[in-house]
Chain A
Amino acid sequence: MTKHKKTTSNQFIRRDVLRIGGGVALSAPFVGRAWAETVEINMLAWYGHGEPDMVGAFEEANNVKFVPKYYAGGDNMLALIAQSPPGTYDIILSDGEFVQQLNAAGYIEELSADDYPFDDMLHEDFTKFPGHWDGDKLYSMILRGGHLGVSYNTTAMSAEEASSYEGFWKPELKGKVGHFDWHLPNLGMMSLKNGNGASLWDLTDDQWSAVQETTLSLREQIGGYFDYGGTFNGLKNGEMQAMCGIGDWITGVLERDGAPVASIIPKEGGIQFTESYCIGKDSEKADLVKSFIQYMMSPEGQVKSAQMLAYPGFCVTKGGRALLQEVDAKEAERSHQIDGMPNEPIALINEGRIHYRDIPQQQTLEDWNDFWSEYKNA
Chain B
Amino acid sequence: MRTKKTIDLYALTWRVPIILWQLLFFVGPVLFMVAISFFVVKNYRMTEAFEVVNWQKMLSRGYFWDSYWYTLFIASLSASIAMLIAFPAAWALAFRASDRLRSWAVFLLIIPFFTSYLVRTFSWYVILAESGVLNAILGFVGLGPFTMLNTHFGTIVGYLTLTLPLAVILQTVTMANIDKNLIEAARNLGCKPLATIWRVVLPLSKTGMIIAALFCFILAFGDFVAPFYLGGSQEPTLPILILDTTKSGQQWPRAAVVAIMMMLTLFTIAFTAIALAYRKPKGSK
Binding site for B on A (CB under 8 A): 72-73, 75-76, 78-79, 82-83, 105, 175, 178, 181-183, 222-227, 230, 233-234, 237-239, 365-366, 369-370, 372-374, 376-377
Knowing A78-B44, A83-B45, A370-B61, the reply to whether A223 touches B232 (Cβ < 8 A) is yes
Does the CB pair A82–B44 fall under 8 Å? yes
Chain A: CB-nearest residue to B248 = A369
User: In whole angstroms, what is the CA distance A224 to B251 when docked?
Assistant: 23
Taken residue by residue from 61 to 105, chain B's Cβ proximity to chain A (1 for < 8 Å, 0 otherwise) reads as: 111001100000000000000000000000000000000000000
**18 CB-based A-B contacts, threshold 8 Å:** A72-B247, A73-B247, A75-B249, A79-B44, A82-B43, A181-B244, A224-B232, A224-B233, A224-B234, A234-B150, A237-B129, A369-B248, A370-B61, A372-B248, A373-B245, A376-B234, A377-B63, A377-B235
Does the CB pair A377–B229 fall under 8 Å? no
Does the CB pair B234–A225 fall under 8 Å? yes
A226 contact from B44, B46, B233, Cβ within 8 A: B233
* B61: A residues at CB distance < 8 A: 370, 373-374
Taken residue by residue from 35 to 57, chain B's Cβ proximity to chain A (1 for < 8 Å, 0 otherwise) reads as: 00000000111100000000000
From residue A348, how far is it (CB to closest CB) to chain B in Å?
A: 28
Chain A: CB-nearest residue to B229 = A230
Does the CB pair B131–A238 fall under 8 Å? yes
Does the CB pair B249–A365 fall under 8 Å? yes
User: In whole angstroms, what is the CA distance A234 to B147 when docked?
Assistant: 12
User: In whole angstroms, what is the CA distance A282 to B43 when docked?
Assistant: 20
Does the CB pair A225–B63 fall under 8 Å? no
Binding site for A on B (CB under 8 A): 43-46, 61-63, 66-67, 125, 129-132, 147, 149-150, 228-229, 231-236, 241, 244-245, 247-251
User: In whole angstroms, what is the CA distance A72 to B150 when docked?
Assistant: 22
From residue B1, how far is it (CB to closest CB) to chain A in Å?
A: 55
Does the CB pair B249–A376 fall under 8 Å? no
A237 contact from B125, B229, B233, B249, Cβ within 8 A: B125
User: In whole angstroms, what is the CA distance A75 to B231 when docked?
Assistant: 25
Chain A: CB-nearest residue to B154 = A224
Residue among B67, B150, B236 having the largest count of chain A Cβ atoms under 10 Å: B150
* B249: A residues at CB distance < 8 A: 75, 365-366, 369
* A223: B residues at CB distance < 8 A: 147, 150, 232, 234
User: In whole angstroms, what is the CA distance A183 to B249 when docked?
Assistant: 11
A175 contact from B67, B125, B131, B147, Cβ within 8 A: B147
From residue B245, how far is it (CB to closest CB) to chain A in Å?
A: 8
* A182: B residues at CB distance < 8 A: 248
Does the CB pair A377–B66 fall under 8 Å? yes
User: In whole angstroms, what is the CA distance A369 to B236 when docked?
Assistant: 14
User: In whole angstroms, what is the CA distance A239 to B154 when docked?
Assistant: 13
* A366: B residues at CB distance < 8 A: 249, 251
Knowing A75-B44, A75-B249, A377-B66, the reply to whether A225 touches B233 (Cβ < 8 A) is yes
Knowing A79-B44, A223-B150, A369-B249, the reply to whether A376 touches B235 (Cβ < 8 A) is yes
* B233: A residues at CB distance < 8 A: 181, 224-226, 376
Knowing A78-B44, A82-B44, A226-B232, the reply to whether A373 touches B129 (Cβ < 8 A) is no
User: In whole angstroms, what is the CA distance A181 to B248 when docked?
Assistant: 11
Does the CB pair A373–B232 fall under 8 Å? no
From residue A188, how far is it (CB to closest CB) to chain B in Å?
A: 14
Knowing A82-B44, A82-B45, A224-B233, the reply to whether A183 touches B248 (Cβ < 8 A) is yes
From residue B157, how far is it (CB to closest CB) to chain A in Å?
A: 14
* A178: B residues at CB distance < 8 A: 232
User: In whole angstroms, what is the CA distance A373 to B150 when docked?
Assistant: 17
* B251: A residues at CB distance < 8 A: 366
Does the CB pair A73–B248 fall under 8 Å? yes
User: In whole angstroms, what is the CA distance A304 to B228 when docked?
Assistant: 33
* A237: B residues at CB distance < 8 A: 125, 129-132, 149
A377 contact from B67, B147, B245, B250, Cβ within 8 A: B67
Chain A: CB-nearest residue to B62 = A374
Knowing A82-B43, A181-B233, the reply to whether A75 touches B147 (Cβ < 8 A) is no
Does the CB pair B45–A75 fall under 8 Å? no
* A82: B residues at CB distance < 8 A: 43-45, 250
Chain B: CB-nearest residue to A370 = B61
User: In whole angstroms, what is the CA distance A108 to B254 when docked?
Assistant: 28
Does the CB pair B248–A75 fall under 8 Å? yes
From residue B229, how far is it (CB to closest CB) to chain A in Å?
A: 6
* B248: A residues at CB distance < 8 A: 73, 75-76, 182-183, 365, 369, 372
* A226: B residues at CB distance < 8 A: 232-233
Does the CB pair A373–B241 fall under 8 Å? yes
* B234: A residues at CB distance < 8 A: 222-225, 376
* B149: A residues at CB distance < 8 A: 224, 237, 239
